[in-house]
A and B are shown apart, each in its own frame.
Chain A
Amino acid sequence: MEINIKNIDPSQKEYIEIGCWRVNERVNEIVRFIKLRDGHVEAYKDEKQYRIALSDILYVEAVDDRCFIYLDKDCYESRRRLYEFESLLPSDNYIRISKSVVVNLMKIVQIRPALNGRFLCHLVNGEDVIVSRKYVPDLKARIRGDRS
Chain B
Amino acid sequence: MKDKLRNILGSFFISVTLINIAMLVLGSLLMPEQRFGYEVFIYPIIYGVIGIIPALITRDGKELSVKQTLVKNAVQMLMTVALILAFIFGGHPVDRNLIMTAVFVAVSVVLIYAGVIAISWFLDKKTADMMTEDLVRFQNRSADKGT
- CB within 8 Å of B: which A52-71 residues: none
> Mind listing 17 A-B residue pairs with CB under 8 Å?
A92-B147, A98-B63, A105-B142, A108-B135, A111-B132, A112-B125, A112-B128, A113-B127, A113-B128, A114-B124, A119-B127, A120-B66, A130-B65, A132-B63, A143-B131, A143-B137, A143-B138
Total A-B contacts with CB atoms under 8 angstroms apart:
72
Given A116-B69, A117-B3, CB of A110 within 8 Å of CB of B132: yes
Point out the residue from A100, A117, A130 that lies within 8 Å of B7, measured CB to CB: A117
Give CA–CA (A99, B61) in the complex, Å: 11
Determine, out of A2-10, A28-36, A76-84, A133-141, the stretch whose residues face the partner at the interface: A133-141
Closest B residue to A141 using CB positions: B134
Chain B interface secondary structure, helix, strand, loop or mixed? helix
Q: How many B residues, CB 8 Å from partner? A: 28
Closest beta carbon of chain A to B140's beta carbon, Å: 11
* Complex contact B131–A111 (CB within 8 A): yes
A144 on the B face (CB < 8 A): yes
B87 on the A face (CB < 8 A): no
Give CA–CA (A117, B138) in the complex, Å: 23
A115 on the B face (CB < 8 A): yes
Give CA–CA (A79, B68) in the complex, Å: 30
- CB within 8 Å of A: which B42-90 residues: 63, 65-66, 69-70, 73
- Report, as a range, how many residues of chain A touch the other chain: 20 to 34
Given A105-B139, A119-B124, A134-B3, CB of A114 within 8 Å of CB of B134: no
Point out the residue from A117, A130, A134, A139 that lies within 8 Å of B131, measured CB to CB: A139
Give CA–CA (A92, B143) in the complex, Å: 11
Chain A residues with CB under 8 A of B7: 116-117, 133
Query: Interface code B98-125, partner A: CB below 8 Å = 1, 0 otherwise?
Result: 0000000000000000000100110011
Give CA–CA (A118, B125) in the complex, Å: 11
Chain B residues with CB under 8 A of A106: 139, 142-143
Query: Interface code A85-109, partner B: CB below 8 Å = 1, 0 otherwise?
Result: 0000010110000111000011010
- 7 smallest CB-CB distances across A and B, nearest first, come from A113-B124, A133-B3, A143-B134, A143-B138, A111-B131, A115-B69, A117-B7
Closest beta carbon of chain A to B67's beta carbon, Å: 10
Point out the residue from A93, A115, A132 that lies within 8 Å of B66, measured CB to CB: A115
Closest beta carbon of chain B to A27's beta carbon, Å: 29
